[in-house]
Structure 1
């Protein structure tokens, strides 16, 4: 069954070690949906990709040049070139099935942005570690996945390509324009885990995302001071550890997660919490130095506050001529 939508995959690779696996996925994907790969890889890799994918997908260079976040430029380029109003945006490690694509497209009949839940398959140790972050997000509300269903008209002016936490920036921009955002925590989309080396390289960058959520940032910054203060009070520390595991278990069981996440998943939450506490302080240091290093520049903005985005939209509506001339 083929769905009436566009699949946009922003890509920037520096090696082709996973080319065969991605090529096989794109070959299958092209039988279910129209696919556009926006490829910002170096010229030699771009040519290799063009040769490998010519028969399956539309393979293009980015057409949007403004903004330091290359992934956002890729998404915005894909939206500009999409042949359909309904778009599925997905990272290169996401592995949709015909069923997950159809479910997202169906949800977009009465929503503007739909966020499913990614789940790592397979699950090496570092994927289990990072799954703890998803459980915490699920317990607090919803996770930020590597794939979204989106109506192009929900982002008439795109979203800020200088924001590091690009998924949060996209969600907030849709909300600011009056769009309907829906979380499908029970729609599980497989995702291939990163290498252990890439996992370690993302620890501080992911912690920096919390600068977009001040209350959460304050809680994460408090973790290490609290643990240090209670270091000799083992009974209290044991109680807090069990409470943190219980919190993760709430996220694991929420909306069908118990059938997908292994029973041991919540045991990783205390490990993740200590890591996040340490990396949050490192992220504060990066912010004081101008932001997170990214592609030769520094990104200071995590994501724009929703209130600020709404004020901008209101101002643009009140002064359309100024908006056109800006």
Structure 2
């Protein structure tokens, strides 16, 4: 069965080390779903991608050129030309199967945005570290994956979303909510994701902390971590209690919505490492915000994501039409 849906992949590569593997993946996808790759890579790489994929994949350059967030520009460009109402958005490191595509498409029958749960496969040390962040997110609300299901009409009604926002996933979700759309969080819809390199993982630490600026209460808690840990440095029992609580919180996230069968049993034990990281990087992120924003893809981005109340007041959206 072929899905009546579109798979949109925004891409910008500076090298082609992973091209054979991605080509194999896209070829398998094209047998069951229409695939569009919006490719902002340099011209030589763009040409190599076109040659590798041929007519199995619709391969386009971005048409939305304004906005600091290249991924958002790619998503909006892909949505503008999507051949179907139901769209599966996915980063280049996401690896859907026929089963996960079917689940996302089925969930879109009753929603405008579907939010699956990514899981890293394989699991090097830095992917285990970042998994702890996902588990904490699952415990308190939901994680923010690299793949979404979207009804094209939901974003057409809002005119798209702001491509200047750093936390573009949250910006898209909030924009759809502001337009009266339905967002369905599926914490038990697990989609594999290839981990980044250790070097790329390190480069993401402050940027991910900067995303929390879009959630002021969460950011306030994260800013409080460093003072709290410093205050407890001479109270080993108190410090141990905080670290144990972080593990218990992550373990709750691991067990929530069938996660215990997916995430390894040791996953929650990495929560103290992530907690210590965020205690430092949240203050770095605040400093960058006070100095005019965070550097992202060679540009400086100020806003993480707009508040929902602001998006509701600002309708219709000022973002590029799709």
TM-score scaled by length of structure 2: 0.97
1:1-326 maps to which residues of 2 (within 5 A)?
1-156=1-156, 157-313=159-315, 316=316
Runs of 4+ in 1 over 6 A off after TM superposition: none
Matches of 1:76 and 1:235 in 2, distance apart? 51
Matches of 1:209 and 1:240 in 2, distance apart? 24
118 and 273 in structure 1: CA distance in 2 versus 1, 3 angstrom threshold:
same
How much does 1:295 deviate?
A: 3.0
Give yes or no for contact 2:40–2:62 (8 Å, CA) kept in 1: yes
How much does 1:216 deviate?
A: 0.5
Asked which structure has the greater RCO (Cα within 8 Å, sep 6+), the reply is 2
Matches of 1:66 and 1:233 in 2, distance apart? 52
Give yes or no for contact 2:254–2:260 (8 Å, CA) kept in 1: yes
How much does 1:55 deviate?
A: 3.3
Matches of 1:77 and 1:125 in 2, distance apart? 35
Q: Deviations over 1:136-183 (max 9, x none)?
A: 100011110000000001111000000000000000000000000000
Determine helix, strand or coil for the equivalent of 2:56. Answer: coil
Determine helix, strand or coil for the equivalent of 2:13. Answer: coil
How much does 1:323 deviate?
A: 11
Matches of 1:213 and 1:117 in 2, distance apart? 20
Q: Deviations over 1:94-139 (max 9, x none)?
A: 0000000011111111100000000000000000000001001000
Determine helix, strand or coil for the equivalent of 1:54. Answer: helix
Give yes or no for contact 2:114–2:185 (8 Å, CA) kept in 1: yes
48 and 176 in structure 1: CA distance in 2 versus 1, 3 angstrom threshold:
same
Say what the alpha-carbon RMSD is for the aligned residues.
Answer: 1.4
Aligned positions, number: 318
How much does 1:89 deviate?
A: 0.2
Determine helix, strand or coil for the equivalent of 1:261. Answer: coil
TM-score scaled by length of structure 1: 0.96
